[in-house]
Structure formats: structure tokens, C-alpha cells
Chains A and B, each alone.
Chain A
Amino acid sequence: MNYQHPKLIEELAAQYVLGTLRGRARRRFERVCAHNAKALDAVRQWEDRLVDLLAGVVPVAPSAVVWDQIKFRVRRDRALRPKRVFATFGNWRFALAAGIAALAIAFGLWTGFGPTTAQPLASFWNQEQGQLWNIEAPRNRVELRIAAAENLQLDAARAYELWALPADGAAPVSLGLMPKSGRITLELNDAQRMALSRSRKIAISLEPPGGSPTGAPTGPVLFVTDIVVAG
């Protein structure tokens, strides 16, 4: 396919934004956008053209727990990542001069180029309830996909926090809060990925709402399980 052809780029960009470009074709076009400024700009223009079609979608109030989870993930991220420096808002805004090259980079980063194939990472079980949680992760372990078993009997007033236990005896590193129902995806930062790569086991501790206030487990460790070794 000739991705230099303007008409083709335009059609693919429209379908990409519309959501009808799917599967491998979608991934392929994302890769094109990463180095083709015209394709990326066509996507941006379609995003801008169509966004107002969503004007009539009725807002739905999220459950309170959603913000709690976001806050938890952001604080963990903030504690473990180096601070980015922007002197003033004005500087930030006028950094628009970054231009097309930055756009291409940004596109790759903001889309993440789609999910990678998840593999089993670990499962937590107990005798009373059988399987409690199942955890999968892509090979590069940029995220953990955690599914809670149905009808879990858990303490509604406490949080269940997941920890990597480095094999070298270093302090446990929090990986996030376990879902009490349904599925969540926990994105891991570099420090968390590194801790996970140095661990053969992970654990869950019982913590106050929102997770451990200290960065270390403060409640009882409820479960410890082995990490599946990648094949």
C-alpha cells in the first residue's frame, strides 16, 4: 500500500478516527503516523472535525472509586518518576513550536500502538473462594491486567494492595490496588517494572482505603504467590 498517496492517507485517517479501521490495518496505520507527518496531521484534523458529533452523548457520573483509583495511580506514578520541569504555563503553551516532528513522537506515545499480547503472570487463590484474582501482563510488562473473580467476599472498607517482592530482599514495591470486582489495567512505571523483573513472588496486603499511606505494606499480608516464568 502506498502510504504517500494523499487520498489514501486521507481515507485511512478518517477511518482511523471514526474507529472503522481495525485490527492489523489500524496498527499498520499507527506505525505510518509515527513517521508520516501528513498522516498524523490528517488524523488530527479528523479528530477536530468529528469531536462535536459527541456533543449529544449524555454525561454519566462515575462512581467515587474511579477517582480514588486514578489518584492512587497518579500518586504512585508521581512518587516514582522524575519530575518534569516547565518553568511557567506560558513557556509550556508556546512550546507549540515543537512542530510536526514532536507530533509524530507524541502520536506514537499517546496511542501506545495498541495492546500487546497478554500472558499469565500470577493467580491468587484461597481454599474458601477458589480463584480470587487472575493477573496477566504483556511480555514487556508495561501493564498488569487484573481480573477479579465474580462475587468476591472482600472487606469493603479496606484496600487490597499488590506488591512486588524483589528476590534480593529489597523493600516491597507497590504495583497498585486490586479490583474488588471486574477488571482493571494497572500501568507500571519504570521503577515498578524493574521491581517486578527482580521478583519471583508478588503479594497482597490489606490496607486503608486508597492504599498504604507509607509506601510500604502496613496491614497484614494476605496472599503471596509465585510469578509465572515467561515461556
Chain B
Amino acid sequence: MHVHGLMADVHSQTLPAHAGPLPSQDATQAEHLELLLGRCAQRDERALQELYQLVSGQLLGILMRILRRRAVAEEALQDVMVKIWQRADQYVAYRGRAMAWITAIARYRAIDLLRRQQAASPIDDAPAEALVDITAADFVDTTTSARMRKALHDCFSKLTAEQRRCLELAYVDGYSQDQIAGEIDSPLGTVKSWMRRGLASLKRCLDS
């Protein structure tokens, strides 16, 4: 876990009750997300609203980690939800978990926006609201498989501390390799090597 400073334009808010976890088990909950995507593909606006209530808090947290600014992250969240609505029928061709598909849309949008944002201004510290807190994983508890989560956790813990740090900064915070090198005060070549080896180890471990 790493600590970031506060950000001026981010204000602490409490999640509404509807953004809390779903009851029941992983499989059922993942199926529920798939069901909602299916209904979105049928142009059921209530399904989109329910999906929004389920995922918007988590997606905004993810977007704010990468984009830093609430206004930009909320704009990106709009884009992501509209994209999900427009492309829900394409989820049928995606052979992965619904949350992986949804999250990929959000992260790729953020990465695109980040490039424009960084061209205009330097990065602020990550918003305090969206800091990693492994005890606060209630939403993901509802949408991804506990078995897969444990597998990732176990494999991730086998990486070196440097590899973990580099991969987290890239994946969770949207850092470029140059930024990671600056953040952890290590040569770029070393960072690239840590990341390459970390990814290879992670793949070997998860696929075994």
C-alpha cells in the first residue's frame, strides 16, 4: 500500500446505501452483472440504472486513482456508462468476467484522457478517497470470484516488493514507466526489467 497526499478539489463523500455490496455468493453476483448487461443490450434503461448503482462507485474510485480530478473522472464515468450501454451486446463476444470487461472500458478511457490531461498539466497526488484499502473491497467482493481473487493475491505476494510496487503504480494509478522510475527513484531500465519479470512471474503462477 502506498500513501498519497490530499487533493484540493476532491471532497469526501459517503457512498449511498444502494452502492453497497450485494448479498449472496460470487457466482450469483457475477451472473447478476451479466444479466444486467444482457438487459442493457435489450435497451432496458432500468438495467443500466441498476448497473450504475452497482458499479459507479467502484468505477469512479478507479477513474479518480488514474485521473486524479473528480470533475474529469466524473466526465469519464459518464462516457464509460454510455459506452457500456451502447456496446453491451458486444459483451457476448468477450470471454471473460463482466467486471473485467467493464473495468477495461473504464481504464482504457482513463488512459486516453490521462494522456490529454498530462499534456496540459502535471499530475496531482492521488485523491484520498480512492486510496487502496484492502479491507474496503466490498464491491469487488460482489463482482469477482473469491477463488480468482485469492489466486491473484497469492501470486502477487510472491513477487518482489519492487515488482509489486511497479505493477500497482502502473495498473492502479495509471503511471507511465517514466513516472514509476521517478516515483521510486530507480533507473528506467531497472523499472522495465522489474515489470517484465513481475508480469512473467504473475502469469506463470496464475496459469499454473
Contact = CB atoms under 8 A, between A and B. Distances in A.
Interface of A: 10-11, 14-15, 17-20, 22-23, 26, 41, 44-45, 47-63, 65-67, 69-71, 73-75, 77-78, 83-84, 86, 89, 92-93, 95-96, 98-99, 102-103, 105-106, 109-111, 114-115, 179, 181-185, 187
A95 B116 CA distance: 37
A19 B104 CA distance: 10
Interface in B115-170: 115-116, 127, 129-134, 136-141, 144, 148-149, 152-153, 156, 167-168, 170
Contacts of B152: 49-50, 52-53
Nearest to B140: A55
Contact of B177 (A20, A96, A115, A184): A20
Given A47-B100, A55-B134, A57-B65, A110 B92 contact: no
B149 A77 contact: no
B22 interface: no
A83 B104 contact: no
B48 interface: yes
Interface in B1-38: 1, 13-16, 19, 34-35, 38
Interface string B165-203: 001101110101100000000000000000110010011
A11 B202 CA distance: 12
A114 B116 CA distance: 11
Contact of B172 (A54, A65, A74, A102): A54
Contacts of B58: 54, 57, 59
9 contacts: A11-B199, A20-B176, A54-B62, A55-B149, A58-B136, A60-B57, A74-B81, A86-B41, A93-B38
Interface residues of B, number: 94
A63 B16 CA distance: 11
B19 A55 contact: no
A154 to B, nearest CB: 15
B140 A18 contact: no
Contact of A51 (B39, B71, B99, B115): B99
Contact of A60 (B78, B129, B206): B129
B167 A18 contact: yes
A78 B131 contact: no
B170 A89 contact: no
A102 B104 contact: no
Contacts of B101: 47
B107 interface: yes
A181 B71 CA distance: 8
Contact of B71 (A55, A57, A102, A183): A183
A63 B87 CA distance: 24
Contacts of A17: 104, 171
Contacts, number: 231
Contact of B78 (A66, A106, A111): A66
Contacts of B167: 18, 53
A133 B127 CA distance: 27
B140 A52 contact: yes
Given A53-B171, A67-B49, A98 B137 contact: no
A97 to B, nearest CB: 9
Nearest to B145: A52
Contact of B94 (A11, A14, A66, A106): A106
A55 B144 contact: yes
B82 A61 contact: no
A53 B171 CA distance: 8
A61 B174 contact: no
A148 B127 CA distance: 23
Interface string B75-104: 101110111011101101111110111011
A56 B58 CA distance: 10
Contact of B72 (A15, A60, A89, A182): A182
A54 B140 contact: yes
A55 B137 contact: yes
A57 B172 contact: yes
Given A57-B132, A62-B57, A62-B74, A44 B96 contact: yes
